[in-house]
Amino acid sequence: MPGPLQAVYYASKSYVTSLLQALAKELKDNNITVTELCEKAIDIGFVSAGDLAGFDLWKNAKNAESVASFGYKAMNKGKLVALNEAALSFMLR
């Protein structure tokens, strides 16, 4: 989806989504699944390194272990898109 002031970032995210959907279709007959893990914010040290603690986006960041676990479970279920953030569910429409 488009976003203000970060056109290239949002365009690259859109490209990755399209690429993964195409790969999933191409690999389906080989019994290979593709899963895109979508997360709002992950606490990996980026906030402190970039001095971003005051931004709302990072206030509810999830820890990396819980995000990885969620993605791993979604992959094992064969999900194409794994949204670990209920607020992002509108993107599936």
- Residue ranges per structural domain of the chain: 7-92
Q: Could you report the per-residue pLDDT of 18-33, keeping only the tens digit for each?
A: 999 999 999 999 999 9
pLDDT of res. 86? 67
pLDDT confidence of residue 91: 59
Partners of residue 82 on adjacent β-strands: 37
State how far the alpha carbon of 78 is from the alpha carbons of 14, 15, 34, in Å.
21, 21, 7
Which among 22, 21, 67, 12 is positioned nearest to 40, based on CA atoms?
67
Give the per-residue pLDDT at 90: 63
CB 24 within 8 A of CB 33: yes
Phi, psi values for residue 41, rounded to 5°: -150, 135
Tens of pLDDT, residue by residue over 53-92, are 777 777 778 888 999 999 999 999 999 999 877 666 665 5
For the chain, how many residues are written? 93
* Confidence (pTM): 0.74
